[in-house]
Structure 1
Amino acid sequence: MLYEPKEKGMTTMTAKVIGFIGTGVMGKSMVSHLLNSGYAVNIYTRTREKAEDLLQQGAVWCECAQLAAKSDIIVTMVGYPHDVEEVYFGESGLIKNCKKGSVLIDMTTSSPKLAVRIYAEAGELGIDALDAPVSGGDIGARQATLSIMVGGEKKVFDDVLPLFQVMGKNIVYQGKAGSGQHCKMANQIAIASTMMGVCESIRYAEKAGLDPQTVLQSIEAGAAGSWSLSNLAPRMISGDFEPGFFVKHFIKDMGIALESAENIGLTAHGLTLARSLYEKLAQEGGENMGTQALYTLYK
């Protein structure tokens, strides 16, 4: 059975049926926030068992095509651009199976070109589409403080803003289709070089005989402060390399960013170096670790 809200007194937005595809490290928390805020949520994930806790919270699992047909707003949060293509353009995909007037929101970090394609092909069928990648990792997803960068039609963004506000805090409309993904590339470029700096900083402190925790207390509150320093350096110091964001997914993001940078005529030196280091980490068995595991190369 799929959700079809019938309760009187629902707000315009919470009366919408949400479809959510991809309940991984971040998606699971995002769906949980939607359920707790009164939304009816249909979910699809390749491995149903991994979504069991969400089903116990009230989500309903269904196949992709069925979810597309019965949901008003469909959010996707999958792994790679090829996964996005499969979900949107396959025979059982969203474009062919969702109803006219639906809103498609891809929150995967993916290609700006692919975002434009989704927007164009959906629009031909009377379907709205937004690209809305996020930043903040597992912590931001759990705390509903994600930064959400959105591209597409402004009116559609305004209509679904209450939905975004359930999952994030810093929600910014960037412009036309593809703009959200371009903004995320800028975000990933900044993170890539920052992560190298954080790793080198903590390792320097250790080799100089300092207590890295004490060093962190001083530098995170000054000009060196960053989200990565405050949230990931403590994990490095404690030896916690569990994924809030997978190394393999970051390598994917950096590849997209380098391709996009080349297309607009930018040579991204820091990004190029960072990707080479992360690729080395992956080759040494770290592809399923969190991005903070870059620190292990410095040790």
Structure 2
Amino acid sequence: MKMPYLCFLTLMCIVKLGQTETTGADSIIGHENITDIYVASKRTDMPLPSQLLNLRFLHRRTRHHHSFTVRHFMAAAEPISPSNTRVGWIGTGVMGHSMCAHLIRAGYTLTVFNRTASKAQPLVDLGAHFAPSPHAVAARSDVVFSIVGYPSDVRSVLLHPTSGALAALRPGGVLVDMTTSEPSLAAEIAAAAAAKGCHSVDAPVSGGDRGAKNGTLAIFAGGEESTVKNLEPLFSVLGKVNYMGGSGKGQFAKLANQVTIASTMVGLVEGMVYAHKAGLDVGLYLEAISSGAAGSKSLELYGKRILKRDLEAGFFVNHFVKDLGICLKECENMGIALPGLALAQQLYLSLKAHGEGLLGTQALILVLERLNNVSLPPSNA
């Protein structure tokens, strides 16, 4: 008698799934109905029908009075697209603004939140909906991106029990944190998301404001590989995604990236000061080395900016100091010594001590100029 009984349960599950429609507020298709059938059976020794069939549910986005169902991304039968996926975004600053604009232009329905609402207005003008809190963003979204300043901000906007995004995210939804943050926090977010039947990806980026504007960011993704793959249509609008491993691995990769950049920036500005003191035309010097072994993305992005005395932030000194501090903390945890990293952090801390934390990372030239009592002449080259 067991097999007919199981077949009956299976049939009822399929019928319920086929009949379920969205009415009123957003709802989740199928789960409640399957649970009701199971409880009614009073057969607690039996697995759920979804376990019997190994069913994975694709919740299609269905319009009904401007409400939508939530899509399960882990087993999506069709790729993410503007027609079936709502996107939320928390943090519309230097990087976030450009990234959001790309998604809007790609046709995605976007809901945004920023602590300073006026900074999100240009996105609202492009068609985004402004929400009053991270919680409100998640209530309207299937995938929620965040790119904020510090780990404490990440914890607040994603994990706060009443105002955070996870509290409002429906099962099957995805959190994508693009802030450079602590790997341990990424793992904590992933565990909290999994407990709700949601997914989480840590996906910090590199490329600065220009990479954000051009849609050419390097994205370091950590989390379930299948989730990262399903998010590819969204990531491809922003840049190139690189899967680094499980939860926290995206953050570890970004921190290693920051270690490399820190020493590269020190070398760039030291070389410029040396060339100046040697009587070279610094602009010609930079052009000459750009095609050799000393060429780098940092040189490409910041060399001419420094010459023009353009120290506006594409990435804030304050945030870089934060990143390098996290790196040093992880070095201590790992028991490794990276003296170049430690020196770079001290030099950038000097900028912060001079009240220059809101300048861009290329402002490191100011530290070397002060140390050597020189000032590079501005150039319009």
2:119 corresponds to 1:50: yes
1-structure distance, mates of 2:296, 2:274: 18
Q: Which digits, 9 at most, give the CA deviation of each residue in 1:82-138, with x for residues without a partner?
A: 000101121210221111110000000000000000001110110100000000000
2:245 corresponds to 1:175: yes
1-structure distance, mates of 2:79, 2:324: 40
The size of the alignment, in residue pairs, is: 295
State the partner residue of 1:104: 175
Q: Which digits, 9 at most, give the CA deviation of each residue in 1:145-201, with x for residues without a partner?
A: 0000000000000100110000013x2100000000000010000001111000001
TM score, norm. by length of structure 1? 0.96
Matches within 5 A, 1:43-192: 43-63=112-132, 64-90=134-160, 91-169=162-240, 171-192=241-262
State the partner residue of 1:33: 102
Contact 1:138 1:244 in 2 (8 A): yes
TM score, norm. by length of structure 2? 0.75
Give the superposition deviation at 1:12: 3.8
Contact 2:87 2:143 in 1 (8 A): yes
Could you tell me which amino acid in structure 2 is paired with residue 71 of structure 1?
A: S
Contact 2:110 2:129 in 1 (8 A): yes
Contact 1:136 1:147 in 2 (8 A): yes
Query: What secondary structure, in the 3-state scheme, does the structure 2 residue paired with 1:241 have?
Result: coil
1-structure distance, mates of 2:326, 2:368: 26
Query: What secondary structure, in the 3-state scheme, does the structure 1 residue paired with 2:135 have?
Result: helix
Contact 1:109 1:133 in 2 (8 A): yes
2:262 corresponds to 1:210: no
Percent identity, aligned pairs only, is: 45
Q: Which digits, 9 at most, give the CA deviation of each residue in 1:241-263, with x for residues without a partner?
A: 00000000000000111111111
1-structure distance, mates of 2:235, 2:303: 29
2:81 corresponds to 1:13: yes
State the partner residue of 1:271: 341
* Pairwise CA RMSD: 1.7
> Unpaired runs of 5+ in structure 2?
1-60, 67-77, 370-381
1-structure distance, mates of 2:262, 2:62: 43
State the partner residue of 1:280: 350
Contact 1:5 1:16 in 2 (8 A): no
> Unpaired runs of 5+ in structure 1?
none
Contact 1:65 1:93 in 2 (8 A): yes
Structure showing greater Rg:
2
1-structure distance, mates of 2:189, 2:204: 14
Shift in CA distance, 155/73, structure 1 to aligned 2, threshold 3 Å: same
2-structure distance, mates of 1:191, 1:271: 9
Query: What secondary structure, in the 3-state scheme, does the structure 2 residue paired with 1:286 have?
Result: coil
State the partner residue of 1:248: 318
State the partner residue of 2:271: 201
Structure with larger RCO (C-alpha < 8 A, sep 6+): 1
Could you tell me which amino acid in structure 2 is paired with residue 285 of structure 1?
A: G
Give the superposition deviation at 1:11: 6.6
2-structure distance, mates of 1:73, 1:209: 54
1-structure distance, mates of 2:368, 2:341: 18
2-structure distance, mates of 1:262, 1:226: 29
